[in-house]
Structure 1
Amino acid sequence: MIIINSETVARELLDKRSAIYSDRPVVRTNELTGMSFNTVLLPYGETLQRHRKIYHQVLRAEASASYNEMYSRQANQLVIHLLNTTVAEDLQKHIQAYSASLIMAVTYGHIAHGEEDLLLARAREFLDVVLRVLTPEKAAMFTAFPFLEKLPMWCFGGDYALMGCTKELSQQLLNEPFDKVKAQMEEGTASQSLVTDFLSQADDNTDEDTMKAVALTGYLAGMETVSL
Structure 2
Amino acid sequence: MNRTHFRISEMIFCLTLCALPFAFFLWLRRSVKGRLPLPPGPKGYPFIGNMLDMPTVTPWKVFQEWCKVYGDVIYLDLPGRPTIVLGSVKVAVELLEKRSSIYSDRAVFVTDKLLSWDFNFAFMPYSQTWRNHRRAFHQYFNQGEVHKYHPIQVRECRAFLQRMLDSPENIAQHVRQIYTAIILKIVYDMEVTGMNCEYVLLAQEAMMALNIARVTEASWVEYLPILKHIPSWVPGARFKKLADRFRPVVETMRDKPFNQIKRDVANGKGSSSVSGKLLKRLQDRFGETELNQEQEEIARNVAGIAYAAAADTTTSAAQSFFVAMSLYPDVQRKAQAELDRVVGPDRLPDFNHLDELVYIQAVALETMRWAVVTPLANPHRLLRDDEFNGFFIPKGTTVLPNAWAMLHDPDEYPDPDEFKPERFIKDEQLDPNVRSPLSIAFGFGRRICPGRHLSGSSLFLTIASVLHTLSIQPALGQDGKTIDPSTMMSTGIISSPKCVPCIVNPRSANAEHLIRHWNSTASE
Report the TM-score, using the length of structure 1 for normalisation: 0.82
Distance 1:115 1:191 in 2: 25
Partner of 1:210: 298
Contact 2:217–2:239, Cα closer than 8 Å, also in 1: no
Contact 1:37–1:213, Cα closer than 8 Å, also in 2: yes
1:181 Cα deviation (Å)?
0.8
Q: Please, which moves more after superposition, 214-223 or 182-191?
A: 182-191
Distance 1:21 1:101 in 2: 35
**Superposition pairs of residues 170-185 of structure 1, within 5 angstroms:** 170-185=250-265
Q: Which runs of 5+ in 1 are unaligned?
A: none
1:48-98 alpha-carbon deviations (Å, 9 max, x no partner): 01111102212134432222222222122112212222xx43122212211
Q: Which amino acid aligns with 1:208?
A: E
Distance 2:147 2:312 in 1: 23
1:166 Cα deviation (Å)?
2.2
Distance 1:131 1:190 in 2: 36
Partner of 1:91: 171
1:160 Cα deviation (Å)?
5.2
Partner of 2:99: 14
1:176 Cα deviation (Å)?
1.2
1:169-224 alpha-carbon deviations (Å, 9 max, x no partner): 22212221111012122345454221122223332256111121111112221122
Aligned to 1:67, the other structure's residue is in SS state: helix
Partner of 1:109: 189
1:142 Cα deviation (Å)?
1.2
Matched, 1:45 2:127: yes
Partner of 2:307: 219
Contact 2:188–2:258, Cα closer than 8 Å, also in 1: yes
Aligned residues: 218
Matched, 1:162 2:242: yes
Distance 1:177 1:195 in 2: 9
Higher strand share: 2
Contact 1:133–1:160, Cα closer than 8 Å, also in 2: no
Q: Which amino acid aligns with 2:307?
A: Y
Partner of 2:225: 146
Distance 2:158 2:104 in 1: 45
Q: Which amino acid aligns with 2:196?
A: E
> Is the radius of gyration larger for structure 1 or structure 2?
2
Contact 2:124–2:130, Cα closer than 8 Å, also in 1: yes
Partner of 1:118: 198
Give the one of 75, 83, 101 matched to 2:157.
75
Distance 2:145 2:223 in 1: 45
Distance 2:216 2:238 in 1: 16
Distance 1:127 1:164 in 2: 15
Matched, 1:31 2:119: no
1:39 Cα deviation (Å)?
1.4
Aligned to 1:44, the other structure's residue is in SS state: coil
Change (3 A) 1:185 1:145: same
1:4-24 alpha-carbon deviations (Å, 9 max, x no partner): xxx9x979x934xx2x66422
Contact 1:153–1:163, Cα closer than 8 Å, also in 2: no
Higher helix share: 1
Distance 1:49 1:121 in 2: 30
1:129-176 alpha-carbon deviations (Å, 9 max, x no partner): 22111238633x213322321123343365652221222222212221
Q: Percent identity?
A: 23
